[in-house]
A and B are shown apart, each in its own frame.
Chain A
């Protein structure tokens, strides 16, 4: 075991080396203040290390290396992009850079949108109290220095303020053109009291990406977040979703992830107001050299809130699935209802599932439970279908889809869930 002081010194040194000679992007006073503070956080925390307990199951080196590894482009011409059939406000990023030409105009009733690049040039912006602030709050009790790195250096992203329920969803579409793109994207979303909005995200962002999304959901507001990270076999990336919820606010976030050399999706959720509700769900399909990590931290900081974490992973051919989830219930958060389930289906001997589902509870009148299972396809279920004349491949596919469905059911609007389910089915048909 390396002494703790030495490990810390190594991490700090690695951060220093990475940032040496790297100037902070230019901008107005508010953003410069946020970036400077974030850069100081990176310098004092250092970069994550495989020896950190928090990175026990995922090696962060591809994310912290000075330059990204090249990743072959994955051609998906044979299928229409997800959510294409929906009426939406489409905003396109190519290799993590906003593409105004390919995007719709930044106008939607009830919504104020501007790019981070434009906002950075202003002296004052509504996002000043949120940009980097939620990320900074998310540095305890565990350090997430890659998110601070993003706050300090990201120049791309969107600042979205929803003042009234918009008529259609806002769709962020990521495309990749570069073999070795290194994207840093930082979004801020604020949903004002009583409004309800849907944010869609789709596509592979870049060969390597570091995305931070800070979300503030005011009292009584609702945000639906549906993300499909696309098929992209060699990419590596990390995303952080920091969300705080006011009284009676709701968040429903769902992520579909398929393949990729390394993807870590972190969600850090604070239920700050009474009777808030946060549902974080994910479905993962891994085939081959694939490492997928869902790390979720939900803090109940007010009474009578509800949270659900539902994560399902189907893995084969050496794919590794990781789930680290936590429900923390503060002393004040009486009558909490917390639920967490993480399950994996291992389709062959090479797949791995590594999980750390945690509860940390300081209030006595709560109902919290978690479950985690791992195993192969249930032979009895398979036998049942086979006995009814379903061919083995089809029977297996049906069982895998049924397994993933529990996570898809966390999506409120069944139209999106169906779109994702159809896509999964077409992938399985092609692969099997």
Chain B
């Protein structure tokens, strides 16, 4: 890298990161637990549990049947074994599939009625559930940025902010359980239309037992007046979280959606199997950003979340556009491939990812770009960082179907290794079935550049600071695609996740 670039690294974002690292002593700062009385469904998984979840959510008959169908299909499926992950056998009968704070027995009318303990949880996490509050880190901006938040605590949504303002714009943003009650026709039309029940093992499990998640509907021609955000918190022990998110962007609409997640530090592993479905119609655009910071397990690999996620966006009509941005720093195991189905002509899909695996974490993550329409475009930028004893795999598919003429893909995946006990792997699948499309794939694997480290060290930084800085430079292409609120958090996370990996 040219010396000029290194100067730029020093200025701007990275100074803040280094300061953030210094200001935070612990390694995983969201590892505390909220002590609150919970109501659990009986342990284990069977048809009765599926019925119980459906009943708790007061669901219509068709949805119960849909869930039962998924459950039966799940029973005949096998857990996938193709990822470069060493997954201990999961006992699905040793989990709770539904956990709800007792105080939520009667659904609160507004966030003001929610148990203050729960509200404190989110305050402590820095998530503003009061509408006058703003996300930490963006104060002082000329115009206050509003972000509507749906807060999901274990199996239930606590509430959603800015509902009125959003409703005025025609935007529906609520929990999926609420959407089932208030907008059943929309849910029925789109649920499972992107990720069918039997799509894969974990999607089938989710379809059977999903408890809450967010629903977003942006009407035609509407630019969502603020960013939407869902914050997932796993709190209860031995409880899986199975949220389901459905986003529908009608013709010519736009929305930027943020997702964040954390969980307490525990010795046992916890299961998280989510599904995100996005339907994008003509000329609409959805930007989906994730900062995944589930508890990664301790430095000896004890505990941590098993994160099995199916995310897919269907660009159904012409010029639909989706952009996935993810920063994956948490979870003991990550199995996640946000995908783009580029069905409409001239549809566009983008995927920007930073995956960081430290200590004993294992990540197998990437994307699928399925080009079906003519003149479709996709771009993949993936940065994987491995440290400690971690294994980090990029796995991706680029498929150009025979009718997807004149389509383009560009893929770049770079891996960085810090230490000689970790692994970095790249598994791309490239399938080109027409001649006029162009596909380009590049990947590199290297270690943190000694010259760059030396440069930083000779200017008085200690080694840890220097590595954080170089790594942030390595991730820059992805970080700059994140909405501002997340970019701050993500930069700090990049440094925190690697703490202790030097030397």
Contact = CB atoms under 8 A, between A and B. Distances in A.
B201 to A, nearest CB: 9
A123 interface: no
Interface in A140-173: none
A326 B349 CA distance: 27
Interface stretch (B27-35, B89-97, B108-116, B433-441): B433-441
Contact of A361 (B415, B428, B434, B435): B415
B137 to A, nearest CB: 33
B432 A353 contact: yes
Contacts of A351: 435
Q: Is the interface of A mostly helix, strand, loop or mixed?
A: strand
A369 B423 contact: no
Contact of B428 (A53, A348, A356): A356
Interface residues of B, number: 40
Residue in A357, A369, A372 with the greatest tally of chain B CB atoms within 10 Å: A372
A361 B437 contact: no
Given A364-B419, A365-B447, A372-B441, A358 B435 contact: no
Nearest to B442: A371
Nearest to B448: A364
A375 interface: yes
Nearest to B84: A360
A34 interface: no
Given A356-B427, A359-B425, A371 B441 contact: yes
A355 interface: yes
Contact of A364 (B78, B400, B418, B439): B418
Contacts of A349: 402, 405, 434-436
B335 to A, nearest CB: 16
Contact of A375 (B418, B431, B439): B439
B425 A374 contact: no
A366 interface: yes
A364 B425 contact: no
Contacts of B432: 344, 346, 352-354, 374
A277 B239 CA distance: 52
B222 interface: no
A355 B441 CA distance: 10
A405 B270 CA distance: 54
B429 interface: yes
B445 A361 contact: yes
Contacts of B429: 355-356
B421 A331 contact: yes
B435 A366 contact: no
Contacts of B86: none
A322 B437 CA distance: 17
A410 B415 CA distance: 27
Contact of A358 (B418, B426, B437): B426
Interface string B410-428: 0000010111111111111
A426 interface: no
Contacts of A112: none
Contacts of A389: none
B116 to A, nearest CB: 48
Contacts of B436: 349, 376
B420 A364 contact: yes
Contacts of B417: 361, 363-364, 366
B77 interface: yes
Contacts of A33: none
B82 interface: yes
Interface in A356-411: 356-376
Nearest to B399: A354
B78 A1 contact: yes
A367 B430 CA distance: 23
Contacts of B424: 359, 361
A430 interface: no
Contacts of B419: 364
A334 B445 CA distance: 13
B22 interface: no
A357 B431 CA distance: 11
Nearest to A355: B430
Nearest to A366: B445
A3 interface: yes
A358 B428 contact: yes
A4 interface: yes
B445 A358 contact: no
A420 interface: no
Given A331-B421, A354-B430, A369 B442 contact: yes
Residue in A354, A361, A373 with the greatest tally of chain B CB atoms within 10 Å: A361
Given A365-B447, A372-B430, A360 B439 contact: no
Interface in B81-109: 81-82, 84
Contacts of A365: 420, 447
Contacts of A373: 438-441
B81 A4 contact: yes
A370 B438 contact: no
Interface of B: 77-78, 81-82, 84, 400, 402, 405, 415, 417-447
Given A356-B429, A372-B441, A374-B437, 12 more contacts: A349-B436, A351-B435, A356-B428, A357-B430, A357-B443, A359-B443, A361-B423, A365-B420, A366-B447, A370-B441, A371-B443, A372-B439
18 contacts: A53-B82, A334-B420, A344-B432, A346-B432, A349-B402, A351-B435, A352-B432, A355-B428, A355-B429, A356-B429, A357-B441, A359-B425, A359-B443, A364-B417, A369-B442, A369-B443, A372-B430, A375-B437
Interface of A: 1, 3-4, 53, 331, 334, 344, 346-376
